[in-house]
Structure 1
Amino acid sequence: MLGKLLPREGNFFEMFNQHAERIVEAARAFEQLVANYNDVHLREQYNRDVDNAERAADRVTHDVNLLLHKTFITPIDREQIHKLINTMDDVADLIQDCAETMALYDVRQMTDEISRLTALSVKCCGRLKDAVKYLGKIADPAVAEATLKTCEEIDRIESDADRVMRSAMSKLFREEPDVREVIKLKAIYELLETVTDKCEDVANVIEGIILENS
Structure 2
Amino acid sequence: MFSPRKTDPFFAALLTIAEHVQEAMHYANDYKVTSVADLKEVSIRLKKYETDGDDLIHELISKLNTSFMTPIEREDILQLAIKMDDILDGIEHFAANLEMFSLIEIDEYVQTFMDNIVKSSDEIVKAMKLLERRKLVEMRDHAVTIKEYERICDEVLRTSIKQLFIRETDPIRIIQFKDIYELLEDIADYCQDVANTIETIIMRNA
TM-score normalised by the shorter chain: which range applies? over 0.9
In structure 2, the partner of 1:68 is 64
Would you say 1:96 and 2:96 are equivalent positions?
Answer: no
Supply the distance in 2 between the matched residues of 1:149 and 1:170 (Cα, whole angstroms): 32
In structure 2, the partner of 1:146 is 138
In structure 2, the partner of 1:173 is 165
Report deviation, 1:6: 8.3
Would you say 1:182 and 2:182 are equivalent positions?
Answer: no
In structure 2, the partner of 1:14 is 12
Report deviation, 1:3: 3.0
The residue identity in structure 2 corresponding to 1:145 is V
5 Å-filtered alignment, 1:107-122, equals 107-122=103-118
Q: Is the 8 A contact 1:31 1:122 kept in 2?
A: yes
Would you say 1:204 and 2:204 are equivalent positions?
Answer: no
In structure 1, the partner of 2:184 is 192
Q: Is the 8 A contact 2:57 2:81 kept in 1?
A: yes
Supply the distance in 1 between the matched residues of 2:68 and 2:172 (Cα, whole angstroms): 54
Supply the distance in 1 between the matched residues of 2:6 and 2:85 (Cα, whole angstroms): 22
Report deviation, 1:109: 2.4
The residue identity in structure 1 corresponding to 2:174 is V
Supply the distance in 2 between the matched residues of 1:64 and 1:4 (Cα, whole angstroms): 21
Report deviation, 1:108: 4.4
Q: Is the 8 A contact 2:39 2:104 kept in 1?
A: no
In structure 2, the partner of 1:3 is 2
Q: Is the 8 A contact 2:39 2:95 kept in 1?
A: no
Give secondary structure in 2 for the equivalent of 1:3. Answer: coil
With 119-128 and 38-47 compared, the bigger mean Cα shift is at: 38-47
Report deviation, 1:84: 1.1
Q: Is the 8 A contact 2:150 2:189 kept in 1?
A: yes
In structure 1, the partner of 2:29 is 31
- 5+ residue gaps, structure 2, are none
Count of matched residue pairs: 206
- 5+ residue gaps, structure 1, are none
Give the structure-1-normalised TM-score.
0.89
Give the structure-2-normalised TM-score.
0.92
Instruction: State the superposition RMSD in angstroms.
Output: 1.9
Report deviation, 1:65: 0.9
Supply the distance in 1 between the matched residues of 2:139 and 2:171 (Cα, whole angstroms): 44
1:39–1:107 distance in 2 versus 1, CA, 3 Å: closer
Supply the distance in 2 between the matched residues of 1:121 and 1:163 (Cα, whole angstroms): 14
Report deviation, 1:159: 0.5
Give secondary structure in 2 for the equivalent of 1:109. Answer: coil
Q: Is the 8 A contact 1:5 1:76 kept in 2?
A: no
Cα displacement string for residues 21-78 of structure 1 (whole angstroms, at most 9, x for unaligned residues): 1111111121134xx2223443333333322222221111010111111111111101
Give secondary structure in 1 for the equivalent of 2:85. Answer: helix
Report deviation, 1:132: 1.5
With 47-56 and 200-209 compared, the bigger mean Cα shift is at: 47-56
